[in-house]
Amino acid sequence: MTKYMTIVLILLVFALSSLAAEPKSAVQKVPDIDTITNKANMMAYYQGMDGKAKVTMTITNKQGQKREREFIILRKDVNDGGDQKYFVYFERPADVRRMVYMVHKHTGLQKDDDRWLYLPALDLVKRIATGDKRTSFIGSDFLYEDVSGRSLAEDTHELIETTEQYFVIKNVPIKADTVEFGYYNVSIDRKNFVPMKMEYFDKQGKPYRIIESKKVEIIQGFPTVVTSEVTDLKTGGKTEMAFSDVKYDINLGDDIFTERYLRKPPREAMR
């Protein structure tokens, strides 16, 4: 009987505390730093359990010459906020058509990502040595890490400014010698936690690289960046990445991210 009473009491306390929490958010109290960074990370890379998008990249160099990349990307979360699998099916340019790039991303600091490339003309499945994640993604101004996400555990985070619209977080790498930047600031939308601007500063503290979310749409209830642009202030190059046909929770099977589909992409990846 006393045991029963205790449980009721605990439940009551919980109910009251949650009621008490309600007015707090109503007055827009600033959440703690971990909450902000976690929510922003989820918003940028973990919407839904899986997803699909068609991506068009336009790479423009200093001289104004343009190159285009077009691919379909499939993503499945192994666990929310943690490991993920990516399947990238190239459509353009013509010389890389039907190539597939696959990643099993591991967020644990001790474990490198597993990466594969499939070359259809040779029917060759090629395992790719894990590289520096801060190198260009397919020749664009985006880096591998911009596309698949940087583990939160690799930086320290500090809320340096709260404006009407944004939380501005300063991120400093824990292992400074493994990256080319000194630190970067992220402006996160206070309403929906979408990262709207990332500004990279070199080791001397000079800004040299900016990624901006140019257009955000609500898709299936998820705020989604559908156009983003990176500008490299040092080289004068920029790349725009536009997402179309975005779909979430499409129930991708685990086997899509295996050799079977690497050699013969699923229909989901092709249209």
Partner 1 sequence: MIRFQNILAGLILVAAPFLLRASAEENNQDAVGSFLRELPVEVHGFYEIRSGYRLQKDKYEKDMSVMESRLQIDLASYLDWADLKVKGDVIGDMVEEQADFDLREANIFTRPADFMDLKVGRQILTWGTGDLLFINDLFPKDWNSFFIGRDTEYLKAPSDAAKVSLFGDIVNLDIVYTPQFDLDRFINGERISYWNSNLGRLAGRDAIMGTDKPNRWFRDNEIAVRLYKNIDNYELAFYGYRGYWKSPGGQNIARNQAIFPDLNVYGTSVLGAVGKGIGNFEFGYYESDDDQSGKDPLINNSELRFLAGYTQEVGRDFTAGFQYYVEYMLDYGRHKDSMPVGLDRDRDRHVTTVRLTKLLMNQNLRCSLFTYYSPSDKDVYMRPNINYKATDNLALETGANVFFGDYPGTFFAQFQNNTNIYVALRYSF
Residues interacting with partner 1, by CB under 8 A?
59, 61, 67-68, 92-95, 97, 104, 112, 114, 121-125, 127-132, 135-136, 138-140, 237, 255, 258-260, 264, 267, 270
Name the minimum Å distance from CB 145 to partner 1. 14
What's the gap between Cα 228 and its chain centre?
Answer: 12
Neighbour-count burial of 126, counting CB atoms closer than 10 A to its CB (0-12 exposed, 13-18 middle, 19+ buried): exposed
Rama region for 225: left / alpha / beta (φ>0; ψ in -120 to 50; rest): beta
| Among the listed residues 46, 261, 230, 203, the one whose alpha carbon sits nearest the alpha carbon of residue 144 | 230
Q: Quick one: 103 or 198, whose CB is closer to partner 1?
A: 103
CB of 191 to partner 1, least distance (A): 37
* Neighbour count for residue 85 (Cβ, 10 Å): 20
Instruction: 226-229: list long-range contacts, CB under 8 Å, 24+ apart.
Output: none
Comparing CB distances to partner 1, the nearer of 132 and 158 is 132
Q: Which is closer to partner 1, CB of 97 or CB of 214? A: 97
- The string of DSSP letters for 52-112 reads EEEEEEEEE-TT--EEEEEEEEEEEESSTTS-EEEEEEEEESGGGTT-EEEEEE--STTSP
Nearer to partner 1, 125 or 242 (CB): 125
In the complex, the smallest distance separating the C-beta of residue 123 from partner 1, rounded to whole angstroms, is 4
Using the minimum distance from each CB to partner 1, give the nearer residue, 124 or 172: 124
Q: Are 196 and 212 in contact (CB under 8 A)?
A: yes
Residue with smaller CB distance to partner 1, 76 or 186: 76
Burial class (CB in 10 A: 0-12, 13-18, 19+), 24: exposed
Rounded Cα gap, residues 69 and 169, in angstroms:
31
Q: Minimum CB separation from partner 1 for residue 211, in Å?
A: 17
CB of 130 to partner 1, least distance (A): 7
Cβ-based nearer residue to partner 1, 245 or 259: 259
**DSSP helix/strand/coil, 198:** strand
